[in-house]
């Protein structure tokens, strides 16, 4: 049992940017693949739409809120591994941008109580 098992489903959220730049690079297909992968894995991780992390040129971008993980240049083929990471597994090094300036700004906002889901397009 990991610390992530103690989180309720509403605290286990992946935010996928579906704004124009990321959408043009396939983020809506990515979101759909993530939802399918979560269902297939029996995961209760939510996959929400999000509007722009201000890292548009490197999209598709997503945030695994409860893992403090930020991924860029994400491809739908990463969906299963991303769900595994969201459920407590290892990060995916090739797309991990969690140490970048923009990611640290996002994590700082999360730590200050800002909830990206407040701006989400989906419930």
* Angle, helix 79-86 to helix 27-41, in steps of 10 degrees: 60
Of the candidate spans 15-23, 41-49, 85-93, 115-123, the one that interacts with ligand FES by CB under 6 A turns out to be: 15-23
Cite the DSSP H helix spans in the chain: 20-24, 27-41, 79-86, 101-111
Please work out the total of residues on this chain that contact ligand FES, with binding judged by CB under 6 A: 11
Binder of ligand FES out of 12, 13, 14, 17 (CB under 6 A): 17
Q: Residue 63's closest CA among 80, 48, 78?
A: 48
- The span from the CA of 35 to the CA of 19, in Å, is 18
DSSP 71: E
| Position 53 contacts ligand FES (CB under 6 A) | yes
Binder of ligand FES out of 61, 67, 95, 97 (CB under 6 A): 61
**In residues, how long is the chain?**
123
| Position 48 contacts ligand FES (CB under 6 A) | no
Of the candidate spans 19-27, 34-42, 78-86, 112-120, the one that interacts with ligand FES by CB under 6 A turns out to be: 19-27
Contacting positions for ligand FES (CB under 6 A): 17, 19-22, 52-53, 55-56, 59, 61
């Amino acid at each position: 049992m990991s610390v992530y098992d103690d989180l309720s489903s509403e605290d286990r959220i992946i935010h996928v940017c579906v704004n124009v730049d990321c959408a043009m690079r396939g983020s809506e297909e990515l979101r759909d693949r993530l939802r399918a992968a979560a269902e297939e894995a029996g995961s209760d991780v939510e996959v929400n739409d999000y509007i722009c992390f201000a890292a548009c040129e490197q999209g598709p971008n997503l945030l695994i809120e409860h893992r403090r993980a930020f991924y860029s240049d994400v491809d739908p083929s990463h969906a299963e591994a991303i769900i595994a990471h969201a459920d407590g597994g290892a990060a995916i090094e090739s797309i991990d941008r969690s140490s970048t300036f923009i990611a640290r700004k996002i994590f700082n906002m999360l730590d200050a109580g800002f909830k990206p889901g407040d701006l989400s397009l989906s419930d």
